[in-house]
Amino acid sequence: MPADRGSSVTPLKEAASAELDAMRENVSDGYPAPPEMKVTREQMKAAQLPINFRDYCAHLLIPLNDCRKKSFYWPFSCSDLRHAYEKCEFDEYERREMIHRMKKKEGLA
């Protein structure tokens, strides 16, 4: 049985799944490692996060959205959570930019 990839609509075929796992294992040295996912797909789905926000910073967005709903989106509440989320997103952006610069330097991008 193929590994669960989070999609019940279009599950990956066994060959594609094995190829994807091999690509993930063969990450070349020198690139910054991706951060750890701290929430599961089920938790993100239960929190009704839009798909484009289901990233490495979702563990900060879930409590931020709860705080926003409780405070009726008052702009001055939840500022600590908002800044933590924005910092996480900025750090992720910098990591992706570093990977892009490294690939460009190697002639891969």
pLDDT in tens, 55-98: 999 999 999 999 999 999 998 999 999 999 999 999 999 999 99
Count of other CB atoms within 10 angstroms of residue 39:
18
Structure tokens at 81: 């959570």
Mean local confidence (pLDDT), 99-108: 89
**Is 3 a residue whose pLDDT tops 60?**
no
55 touches 92 (CB < 8 A)? yes
Can you give the pTM of this predicted structure? Answer: 0.71
How far apart CA 90 and CA 105 sit, in angstroms, is: 22
pLDDT given for residue 107 in this prediction: 85
pLDDT given for residue 52 in this prediction: 96
pLDDT tens by residue, 16-64: 667 666 656 655 567 888 888 999 999 999 999 999 999 999 999 999 9
pLDDT given for residue 34 in this prediction: 84
Structure tokens at 70: 């409780």
Structure tokens at 33: 């490692």
82 touches 61 (CB < 8 A)? no
pLDDT given for residue 10 in this prediction: 59
